[in-house]
Structure 1
Amino acid sequence: MRDVIFPNKGQASYEKFGYSAAVKSGGFLFVSGQVGTDEVGAPIRMPSEQFDVAFANLGEVLNAAGCGFDDIVDVTSFHVNMYEYFDDFAAAKQKVFPKAPFPNWTAVGVVNLALPDLFLEIKAIARLQQV
């Protein structure tokens, strides 16, 4: 069984590209890649701001499922120009994961993402709260 999750504030890309923000299954939440776009789906121009928005969008999906950043157990991040923007990414990451224990993490450098001018996509798995 699987239940789909969408945040209260929608990102235009869910409907446009035909995917769910997240799926609940087997006690876990599988979150689709979150990016730093505004409400109409346009990439935020400044990389540091784009990274903050990507994490904020991830937070919106987690909240819609009754989870938070502390529930994340696995993260994969995809980076365009990884070395050029990694310090900005690390600063944004530090805001949402300020102290241990940290989730496990895989960072992957890529040539590009789904839209031009995107520098980061964050995919995560979180454990669901027991009710």
Structure 2
Amino acid sequence: MTDRKAIIPDGMEAVYEKVRYAPALKVGNTIYVSGQIGRDRDMRLVEGREAQMVQAFENLKAVLHAAGASLRDVVDLTTFHTDLRDLPLFMRVRDRYLDAHPLPAWTAVGAHMLCGEAGYIIEIKAVAVLPE
């Protein structure tokens, strides 16, 4: 069986220790990234719709970096939105981060609430594959 390794970037230790999940799990050359949200290193909600989206992508980037990967290695992206009317703004932010071709597969899902807390508007989950 392939070894599994929890990926915990600096500043996300509280997620693993207090909330009890790994920001990502690396299995072989595949990285499964848990949903990243618009909270900062102090686990506080970032204010502003675009700012939350940017923070979620920055968190995703940090998790991938800790696993030895980059956004260019993402093959599958799933996003959860509390308001699908935000999709045009989200796509503009996404395109700043994901500019490699081919682009990853993408699924956008409407969600009533994220993280069990009011105020969060976006969650980004990803799968990345490292070159062999």
TM-score scaled by length of structure 2: 0.90
Q: How many residues are paired up?
A: 129
Select which of 36, 42, 45 maps to 1:43: 45
Is residue 37–residue 124 contact of structure 2 (8 Å, CA) maintained in 1? yes
Q: Percent identity?
A: 37
How far, CA to CA, are the matches of 1:78 and 1:22 in structure 2?
17
| Residues 26-105 of structure 1 mapped to structure 2, 5 A cutoff | 26-83=28-85, 85-105=86-106
Q: Which runs of 5+ in 2 are unaligned?
A: none
| In structure 2, distance between residues paired with 1:9 and 1:125 | 21
Structure 1 residue runs of 4 or more that deviate by more than 4 Å after TM superposition: none
Q: Which moved more, 1:2-11 or 1:48-57?
A: 2-11
Cα pair distance change 1:99/1:45, threshold 3 Å: same
Amino acid at match of 2:127: I
Question: Hey, what's the Cα distance between the residues in 2 that align with 1:89 and 1:12?
Answer: 27
**CA RMSD after TM alignment:** 1.4
Post-superposition offset of 1:99: 4.9
Q: Which residue of 2 aligns with 1:7?
A: 9
